[in-house]
Amino acid sequence: MSEVDKPDVDKIAELITNAVMEHRLAPGSKLSESRMADAFKVSRTKIRQALMVLAENGLVQLFPNRGAFITSPTVPEALEVFSARRLLEPEVVRGVIVHAKKADFKLLHKHLEQESEARKSNSRRAIIRLSGDFHLLLASMCGNRYIEKMMSELCPLTCLIIALYDIPQAPACPENDHANIVKAIEQGEESLAVELMLHHLAHIESALHLDGANDANEVDWEKILG
């Protein structure tokens, strides 16, 4: 791999975030700098910088003399994440109604098609990733960069919470929820869109079992990056 092809710090952080979003990295997983450096074919310094970026976003915890671990949100932290999303996502919906253009709705409908295809092919990882990406896509269209930034931190944390407190056989998101939200937004029905979003979040939260967690496994970086 040439220097040009080697991932930069932000790209490494993005790849790790994507692995979390797809449940390829479990909460509590130890992130070995040396193994990551070998897998990404970069220096340990660059890996360390990427881990610091992820720590700032709450996705990684750094412990002196122990190293870096994927965050394992506690039950109170999980409740705080959903509380924050209940506050933010109605504003996301309102912002999209005000700011979204025709091109934005084309992107949303394309995304819904991708979700549908993932369900038809029973692609578990794609379903999980696309479900989270839907909320990030809406946030990117709401016209508020601060809300967008907060959502970029809350969505991966939500994936960790789901991985910790539930092992669903079906997608966390009911099949038609996203389509119904987009339809209400597109028709400018603010109250309905907000109601649908809050109901959607409540459904996800109610599906969690907050009485136990899964054991973290050793990370296979070759498999994750493959």
Which of 113 and 210 is assigned the larger pLDDT? 113
The whole domain housing 62 covers 9-72
Q: What average pLDDT does range 89-117 have in this prediction?
A: 97
- pLDDT for the residue numbered 169: 58
198 and 88 share one domain: yes
Give yes or no for residue 59 having a pLDDT over 80: yes
**What band does 208 get if pLDDT is binned at 50, 70 and 90?**
confident
Confidence of residue 216 (pLDDT cuts 50, 70, 90): very low
Are 51 and 162 part of one and the same domain?
A: no
- 65 inside domain: yes
CA atoms in the 13 A half-sphere facing the CB of 54 = 29
102 pLDDT higher than 90 = yes
The answer to whether position 214 is within a domain reads no
> In terms of Cα–Cα distance, which of 212, 217, 215 is closest to 74?
212
Write down the pLDDT at residue 137: 98
Structural domain ending residue among the three candidates 72, 89, 111? 72
pLDDT higher than 80, residue 63: yes
Q: Are residues 65 and 91 in the same domain?
A: no
Residues 63 and 81 in one domain: no
Does the residue 148 lie in any domain? yes
pLDDT in tens, 106-150: 999 999 999 999 999 988 788 888 999 999 999 999 999 999 999
Mean pLDDT of the residues in the chain = 89
Q: What is the pLDDT, as a whole number, of residue 167?
A: 54
Contact in structure between 154 and 81 (CB atoms under 8 Å) = yes
Q: What is the CATH number of the domain that holds 53?
A: 1.10.10.10
Q: Within a domain: residue 92?
A: yes
pTM of the model: 0.84
Check which CATH number belongs to the domain holding 174 and give it. 1.20.120.530
Do residues 123 and 165 both lie within one domain?
yes
In a domain, 215, yes or no: no
Q: In the chain, how many domains are there?
A: 2
Do 62 and 155 have their domain in common?
A: no
